[in-house]
């Protein structure tokens, strides 16, 4: 059987010798060239399916040739543009950002009922957004806007790169967020004690590290032993680990250091610091474990999620007299005003304690504190 040519390569069956006879393979071999390098792939299926697969594999090559020729058109597969876009951003953006863009684009390619860009329209994207925010697996307006933004950015890049003629979803506006801002509160000292007492040992250590370092969930779950310096009692947050993409050194308290020392002995310092029973790093399943521990401790769940532990860390710094500039460096906020805006909630106890610490007058006493109704000083 003669080889069948795809648009940029060949599809054929290999012939090999067996028992002195020439035998043709039952599988198909795809051959094409990518950036000057020979690529091959073995495929089980029909000839038509093999040719279609080769067509998809070589789509990016056709896109680049069309861009050089200046003949951009919207009759291009969304998936082909996504391949080129991922390759481009991998050279410009941090790996974590590329992963986030990739997940958003994959979701859009899976959910949108079109394969070709010339079939895509603003109305289709708006309909998808409305469906995505309904049902059992509904997502919020913020997440919808992230997905739409990723799609728009990719297509705008394709226009600028002359891979397509126009961006059909350029005019799609972000979905309006009608929900109130999420309420979050700090845990009290009593609630912290109850949480730690009600949590199994493995989880207790993670909650302690959250409370004593202010790490975010994504930072803690991706923390490796190469980031922890037990001798200096510090955590080294590298640029790819920190949410803001900056390098930081965070001091460890005695309690947090003790947690890492216990983990080091149990894991021999290999790979991720915090892993589940299967030896894999925690992901979103850590959220459900935290909620279970909160319920077991009898803590009011309103305003309490795993990020509330970071909230408690920052609030504790401010309540214990740490100056806002130092607190902002420890929580890794670029601006002190951001820290004070996010953690601005003050309890009545905080307000009374602040007033009672006032030093006014010659004798340094609060004139209204420590006196009875007759105005006599009460010792």
Q: Which neighbouring-strand residues pair with 251?
A: 234
Task: Find the DSSP H helices in the chain.
Answer: 47-57, 59-69, 78-89, 95-111, 122-132, 141-160, 189-198, 201-213, 217-221, 254-267, 285-296, 308-319, 324-331, 336-342, 348-356
Shortest CA distance to 332 belongs to which of 251, 255, 269, 242? 242
R_g of the chain, CA atoms, integer Å: 29
Inter-CA distances, 81 with 60, 68, 141, 157, Å: 7, 15, 26, 10
pLDDT value of position 356: 60
Give yes or no for a contact between 143 and 107, defined as CB atoms under 8 angstroms apart.
Answer: no
- 193 plus 330 within the same structural domain: yes
Q: Give 212's contacts (C-beta < 8 A, 6+ positions apart).
A: 252, 253, 255, 256, 313
What integer is the mean pLDDT of 170-190? 82
- 197 plus 169 within the same structural domain: no
pTM higher than 0.85:
no
- 138 plus 226 within the same structural domain: no
- 227 plus 297 within the same structural domain: yes
Number of structural domains found in the chain: 3
Identify whether 370 is part of a domain.
no
Asked if pLDDT for residue 346 goes beyond 60, the answer is: no
The tens digit of pLDDT for each residue in 246-261 reads 889 999 999 999 999 8
The tens digit of pLDDT for each residue in 212-236 reads 999 999 899 999 999 999 999 999 9
pLDDT value of position 112: 92
- 161 plus 212 within the same structural domain: no
The residue ranking higher by pLDDT, 44 or 5, is 44
Point out the least confidently predicted range of 59-63, 338-342, 373-377. 373-377
């Amino acid at each position: 059987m003669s080889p069948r040519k795809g648009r940029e390569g060949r599809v054929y069956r290999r012939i090999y010798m067996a028992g002195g006879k020439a035998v043709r393979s039952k599988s198909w071999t795809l051959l094409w060239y990518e950036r000057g390098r020979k690529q091959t792939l073995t495929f089980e299926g029909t000839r038509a399916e093999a040719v279609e697969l080769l067509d998809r594999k070589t789509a990016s090559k056709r896109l680049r040739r069309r861009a050089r020729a200046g003949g951009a058109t919207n009759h291009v597969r969304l998936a082909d543009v996504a391949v080129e876009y991922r390759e481009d951003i991998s050279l410009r953006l941090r790996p974590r950002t590329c992963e986030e863009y990739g997940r958003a684009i994959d979701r859009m390619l899976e959910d949108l009922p079109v394969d070709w860009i010339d079939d895509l329209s603003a109305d289709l994207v708006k309909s998808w957004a409305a469906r995505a925010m309904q049902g059992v697996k509904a997502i919020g307006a913020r997440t919808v806007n992230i997905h739409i933004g990723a799609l728009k950015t990719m297509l705008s890049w394709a226009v600028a790169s002359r891979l397509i003629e126009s961006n059909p979803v350029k005019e799609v506006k972000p979905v309006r967020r009608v929900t109130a801002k999420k309420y979050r509160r700090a845990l009290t000292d009593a609630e912290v004690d109850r949480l730690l007492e009600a949590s199994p040992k493995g989880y207790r250590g993670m909650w302690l590290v959250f409370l004593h370092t202010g790490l975010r969930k994504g930072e803690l779950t991706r923390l490796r032993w190469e980031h922890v310096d037990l001798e200096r009692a510090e955590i080294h947050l590298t640029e790819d680990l920190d949410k803001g993409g900056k390098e930081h050194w965070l001091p460890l308290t005695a309690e947090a250091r003790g947690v890492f020392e216990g983990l080091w002995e149990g894991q021999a310092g290999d790979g991720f610091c915090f892993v589940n029973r299967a030896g894999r790093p925690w992901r979103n399943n850590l959220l459900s474990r935290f909620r279970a521990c909160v319920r077991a401790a009898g803590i009011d769940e309103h305003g309490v999620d795993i990020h509330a532990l970071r909230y408690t860390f920052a609030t504790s710094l401010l309540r214990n007299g740490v100056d806002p500039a130092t607190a902002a460096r420890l929580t890794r906020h670029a601006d002190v005003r951001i820290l004070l805006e996010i953690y601005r909630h003050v309890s009545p106890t905080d307000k009374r304690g602040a007033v009672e610490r006032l030093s006014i007058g010659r004798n340094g006493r609060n004139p209204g504190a420590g006196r009875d109704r007759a105005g006599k000083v009460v010792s």
